[in-house]
Chains A and B, each alone.
Chain A
Amino acid sequence: MRVYFDYNATTPLSPQAAEAVAAATRDLFGNASSVHYFGQQAKAAIDDARSAVASLIGADPSEVVFTSGGTESDNFAIRGAADALEPGGRRHLVASAIEHEAILNTLKALARRGWRTTLVPVDQSGIVSPGRLREAMAADTAIVSVMHANNEIGTIQPIAALAAVAHEYGALMHTDAVQSAGKIGVDVRALGVDLLSLSAHKFNGPKGAGALWIKRGTRMQPILTGGKHERNRRAGTENVPAIVGLGVASRLAAEKMDAEAVRVGALRDRLEAEILARVPGCAVNGEPGVRVPNTTNISFDHVEAESLLIALDLEAIAVSTGSACSSGTLEPSHVLRAMGLPSHRTQNSLRFSLGMFSTGAEVDRVVEVLPRLVEKLRNLTRRACR
């Protein structure tokens, strides 16, 4: 048995999505912009997927723009809104300190173009408070971006309250819902946001498709210019098979979400409880009560997460540390650092994220193997210290 507990990195395709992607790849080769039959077939499939995505997040289909995924959606949200708002004199961006690199590095890029940026700190619970956001706001703040659920620790942010603060200052509110969409209920009206990013491959859809929800009436500039695709908002021939897969994944998620949240949540809770009971010197990171049901992030004292991750992989157990840089090596988590955890806890944490195909047998296997590996690595470290 090979255990896969890294669903926050990416998920396997559901059989339904895999079938739909394969069929669309084979049958729907037409360019959705074409006038003829083949184009119309492709266009109809895209529109059907658009309805499914809109339905998943409580939106109108006309507000959904397909992108290549979460990173593009985040870039589009920040850059597109910044470009649209800059002529009005807004020159300030706000994001939380625990955002994904897709947001943080986009802010840095805009800072090089003269924008001021402010990162809102979080406390040890890993939650962004509306009070701290208020302190970060300025009269010319253009956009506030706070993720709905954090990718590393799973904490769910109080987006509606944060959006209210942003709107007091006339700023747009964006949320990166890549880690929440398809896992928990996401309703754009209830969240009160203006822009929302999601990605198909985080909920059993294919890689290469995502969406940015743009509230009707929100002024945006495109970041990809070209043809008149996606109502002039995102140029480029549509990736029809991936978009179809996103649609199927959205329908499946909407249908199964409640039951899956209970099932996966129970597995996660048992995994967490057994690890805490069997491995001395470990602690859960992030406020346990307000997390997506599939994620737990645990620090193991006196163990380098890098070593534990590799040792687990060699035992056919796939987990992750919070973030991996492009070269595939590990760095201290910026999320745990932002939470104010001491440096040893930012370097020795592992993320376990479960999903559609996770089973109790997988939990059993991890609970059986992990304590032994932690003990072995701790003994080696102790010997080296002598």
Chain B
Amino acid sequence: MSGGVDSSVAAALLAEQGHDVIGLSMQLYDQREGQASFGSCCTIDDLHDARRVAAAIDIPHYILNFERQFDEQVVSNFVSEYAAGRTPLPCAHCNSDLKFATLVERARGFGADAVATGHYARVERDAARGRYRLKRGADPSKDQSYFLFSLTQEQLARAVFPVGDRPKDAVREYARAHRLPVADKPDSQEICFIPNDDYAAFVTRRVPEAERAGVIVDERGRVLGRHEGIHRYTVGQRKGLGLSAPAPLYVLALKPAEQQVVVGPKVALERTSLTASGVNWIVERPDGPLRVQAQIRHRHRAAPATVRALEADHAEAVFDEPQMAITPGQAVVFYDGEVVVGGGWID
């Protein structure tokens, strides 16, 4: 229970259905430092909101201190990815490595059979194959299955998403109708532990040596300008380059070894293929090429592609049409309609 409306309604729905519900919230970073050093989500106020909701629906509520685990599983990875010129996706790591790992393990210690969250996604059991399927949430504008692609069968077996089959409006309406104290709380937007959405400053604080100046070059290696650390850039970025050019320039690639930011025209951002690592196939690894819709970032319309499993946990996807700004470090998630086939980390 984050103190937001989605997990609050998730808890309320389960309690209403007669389940024996325990409310758990995760304290993810040291609250005493205040909001100066961390973002706006999961603050003391949010934990307090979660407690109020738990009281309103009459379930026990506990706050678990996961500061160390969050730092090890999520924040460290986030920082090292940026320092390596990649654009990380911490929410996916938080789901697979914290919520559906450490939190589930703790919950089992309390006698829980499953862990429910406020994610907009759906889990279904394929009785014939005895496997669990992950599907997009019913509300396409709120779907969060992209952040859940790395859940294993064992994790899906213990995952419950009570709001996944509802539109967001209905979730808010439920919260209002049941007088949950967070019914009108705004949705959280940015990465929860980054204050003011200034991830570059956060990375610099954690890894001062990431602040290594370098040059901005075009595709042919000509120097166009200077920069103060590649962690300040992300593929596809246009604003804030500090360059003047006749046509808009975009970040095409980040080269950590050379400390170079490569820029070029928009058309140069287009790619038709990608490879991914750490690939998780939800139900089964495909033997041959598979027609899918592949989604390369949270706000991307999944595009038709052919995906092929490679050796170990790698995969290759070839799109029917070129895609803009395929960004290393983000996830590529393969869908068959609403069903998540699998996904991995873009190389």
Contacts and interface: CB of A to CB of B under 8 A. Distances in A.
A binds B: yes
Interface of A: 306-307, 310-311, 313-314, 325-331, 376-377, 380-381, 384
A384 B63 CA distance: 21
Interface stretch (B102-110, B178-186, B214-222): B102-110
Contacts of B51: 328
Contacts of A327: 27, 31, 44, 47-48, 63
21 contacts: A306-B65, A307-B106, A307-B110, A310-B110, A311-B109, A311-B110, A313-B60, A314-B22, A314-B60, A325-B31, A325-B32, A326-B44, A327-B31, A327-B47, A327-B48, A328-B63, A329-B27, A329-B65, A330-B65, A380-B105, A381-B105
A384 B64 contact: no
Nearest to B63: A329
A331 B65 CA distance: 8
A307 B104 CA distance: 12
A349 B345 CA distance: 40
Contacts of B110: 307, 310-311, 314
Nearest to A303: B109
A327 B48 CA distance: 8
B62 interface: yes
Contact of B105 (A306, A330, A384): A384
Nearest to B108: A380
Contacts of A328: 47, 51, 63
B178 to A, nearest CB: 24
A310 to B, nearest CB: 5
A348 B179 CA distance: 38
A311 B111 CA distance: 8
Contacts of A330: 65
Between B47, B60, B62, B105, the greatest number of chain A beta carbons within 10 A of the residue's beta carbon is seen for B62
B27 A377 contact: no
Closest 5 CB pairs of A and B: A329-B65, A329-B63, A329-B27, A377-B109, A310-B62
Contacts, number: 42
Contacts of B48: 327
A72 to B, nearest CB: 22
Contact-residue size bin, chain B (C-beta under 8 Å from the other chain): 10 to 19
Between A306, A313, A325, A329, the greatest number of chain B beta carbons within 10 A of the residue's beta carbon is seen for A329
B65 A376 contact: no
Between A328, A377, A381, the greatest number of chain B beta carbons within 10 A of the residue's beta carbon is seen for A328
Interface in B63-121: 63-65, 105-106, 108-111
A376 B64 contact: no
A310 B103 CA distance: 13
Contacts of B60: 313-314
A323 to B, nearest CB: 12
A329 B31 CA distance: 10
A343 to B, nearest CB: 11
Contacts of B27: 327, 329
A329 B42 CA distance: 13
A323 B111 CA distance: 25
A281 to B, nearest CB: 17
A325 B30 CA distance: 11
Given A325-B31, A327-B63, 6 more contacts: A314-B60, A327-B48, A329-B63, A329-B65, A330-B65, A376-B109
A330 B31 CA distance: 12
Interface string B24-66: 0001000110000000000010011001000000001011110
Contacts of A384: 105
Contacts of B108: 380
B228 to A, nearest CB: 35
A326 B63 CA distance: 12
Nearest to B101: A384
A384 B44 CA distance: 29
Contacts of A314: 22, 60, 110-111
A328 B54 CA distance: 14
A112 to B, nearest CB: 15
A306 B31 contact: no
A313 B44 CA distance: 22
Contacts of B65: 306, 329-331
Contacts of B62: 310, 313
Nearest to B68: A347
Contacts of A331: 65
Nearest to A310: B62
B109 A380 contact: yes
A307 B48 CA distance: 20
A123 to B, nearest CB: 28
A51 to B, nearest CB: 41
A377 B111 CA distance: 10
Contacts of B31: 325, 327
A311 B24 CA distance: 12
A329 B43 CA distance: 13
Contacts of B32: 325
A3 to B, nearest CB: 15
A380 B158 CA distance: 15
